[in-house]
Structure 1
């Protein structure tokens, strides 16, 4: 399926699926069917998705997948990715934690499993000159990548803590307008919005290309600055049917994360090469350098933070309360880590490890 047709399919699924995700057959009810002929992988052209970008650019995934054809698909934000995953249009995805949680809860735990972490950090609220504190935000208009995505929830949660009311329809003391990242940059440059809560490299692009400044670095809101920005999720049905393909995907993912951490001086060039291939344009060196300073790459999904993320989504009005026990399946990841001599990561009593 080409990207245009995929986008049309996704758009037709609707806002309910965007916020809550869909249902897939429970993993335990699906018999294994042997090797996967294809693995369709979703990701964003963001620095916070660098493990996907590097894994694709350097061939780590294809090397591990062998005869399984890898078909990448590019998305802009998590809720749209969840729509595709729930509809069976893709099999696995790099995604923010909040849309993954929403889908799991809405499906009664049947839609997906988080099988690894990917990135921590790299998200912030950037604003125009003249806004120097939370008190200056009354009556402003701020953007997020999509309603219900991880940065959208973070912004609504922070504004609520600062005493502001917001609405999922754009009303309230501060108007929040979900906007595609590239359009956010254009709207900010033209003065039509006052700021945005964004992932990297968009934070750095607004700072270096549009005279924005950081009002809130999300890392400052979490203990030790550690919070999940990107995780790797797999459809529960695909995981049950093709565990070997998922193991190969995770081996490629782990290799990509390891490469990023072992080659920081080369990371920007490799990420830029993939961005140029995807979008026709690479990032300026200062932008990608600044972005990488604010992101950490790890296969640990930081599972202990997920109850906090769920409650934040519920309070923000973009999620429903529910049980997230079983959200994580880290058994294969930990087998891959063990083979590499690394310690296991924890599912935070929210799944298997």
Structure 2
């Protein structure tokens, strides 16, 4: 199966899930289930996300008003982050309630809290991460002594790079030593450092992969999709503070309605997606992406409500190998019951927690 086929399959699956419309009201059965679970809508909810193409469901949901429509009287505020560990700090401190985030920080907080901190309630994006390097690096053997960047120590791309380097026989450590030096760096600074010749490459999410390729002349050494079966690996999931989920399941359900509406819109409006995503990126960062950059980025990302729970045990093993997480169980990390209630009420197939939580 080609990557484009994987992307199309994911989008078609999501489109089918939202074809009847998740503009702001759930099916009666799903609403009844949430009401039975107790709790009341929150007065306010704070959503964290990154200004990345891999967070397009958040960008579209905000720009097109899907979250606001679904939340009704609940006030929505937002916070923009650069990488997962910083967002996790905010989530666990209660500064935000929900986050679009990578799987590895989600795993880390769950294990470190003994399963008490947060739950993954949906998937968001698949693919869209790669190792890009300078001219002269054409194989893994050319990386000896190189300096590579990642968005933040312990984030999903940082773990992926460290695990891949270990498989290639390189030693690294979390202080930047070893055969290949890894320097966690804010994404915009990574682009600048690469252009200045201060680093040799980086493992990044989109659109930063495409920024380095199009704007700085980098080339892809490793597309992470090539390391996973059928190219399907989760880049972004929707993570909720566990206490907030228990207290306000109706608000989380409403956010999921907006999330599914955004996924459906992305599936049904591929020709408009770049413009809407770029408008939100410009609002958040002060500058949009060049057409060649955003078009290339969107070719490498799929948007999917399935969090691909079947990959998470491998992600745990990668984090342990990378030395960026503690050992521990992820049983209970997923709570997909609200998501599946919405999907089933609309006649769509439920998604699996892979034995790692509620469905």
Partner of 1:78: 84
Higher relative CO (Cα under 8 Å, sequence separation at least 6) belongs to 2
What displacement does 1:32 show? Answer: 5.4
> What is the rounded CA distance, in whole Å, between the counterparts of 1:229 and 1:188 in structure 2?
23
Q: Which runs of 5+ in 2 are unaligned?
A: 1-36
Q: 2:156 aligns with which of 129, 150, 156?
A: 150
Contact kept in structure 1, 2:39 and 2:250, CA below 8 Å: no
1:102-157 Cα distance to aligned partner (Å, 9 max, x none): 00001010000000000000000000001000000000100000000000000000
Partner of 2:172: 166
What displacement does 1:273 show? Answer: 0.4
Aligned counterparts, 1:127-206, within 5 A: 127-206=133-212
Partner of 2:130: 124
1:152-195 Cα distance to aligned partner (Å, 9 max, x none): 00000000000000010000000000000000000000000000
> What is the rounded CA distance, in whole Å, between the counterparts of 1:42 and 1:312 in structure 2?
25
In structure 1, the residue corresponding to 2:330 is in which secondary structure?
Answer: coil
What displacement does 1:283 show? Answer: 0.3
TM-score by length of 2: 0.89
> What is the rounded CA distance, in whole Å, between the counterparts of 1:136 and 1:64 in structure 2?
51
TM-score by length of 1: 0.91
Structure 1 range deviating more: 339-348 or 114-123: 339-348
1:266-320 Cα distance to aligned partner (Å, 9 max, x none): 1000000001111111100110000000000000000010010011101100001
Change (3 A) 1:121 1:62: same
In structure 1, the residue corresponding to 2:126 is in which secondary structure?
Answer: strand
> What is the rounded CA distance, in whole Å, between the counterparts of 1:168 and 1:340 in structure 2?
46
What displacement does 1:340 show? Answer: 2.5
1:1-55 Cα distance to aligned partner (Å, 9 max, x none): xxxxxxxxxxxxxxxxxxxxxxxxxxxxxx9552200010000000000000000
Partner of 1:272: 278
In structure 2, the residue corresponding to 1:143 is in which secondary structure?
Answer: strand
> What is the rounded CA distance, in whole Å, between the counterparts of 2:63 and 2:309 in structure 1?
28
> What is the rounded CA distance, in whole Å, between the counterparts of 1:275 and 1:338 in structure 2?
33
Is 1:323 aligned to residue 329 of structure 2? yes
| Count of residues in correspondence between the two structures | 323
Q: Which 4+ runs in 1 deviate beyond 6 A?
A: none
In structure 2, the residue corresponding to 1:187 is in which secondary structure?
Answer: helix
Q: 1:263 aligns with which of 244, 260, 269?
A: 269
Q: Which runs of 5+ in 1 are unaligned?
A: 1-30
> What is the rounded CA distance, in whole Å, between the counterparts of 2:334 and 2:39 in structure 1?
22
In structure 2, the residue corresponding to 1:89 is in which secondary structure?
Answer: coil
What displacement does 1:223 show? Answer: 0.4
Partner of 1:47: 53
In structure 2, the residue corresponding to 1:313 is in which secondary structure?
Answer: helix
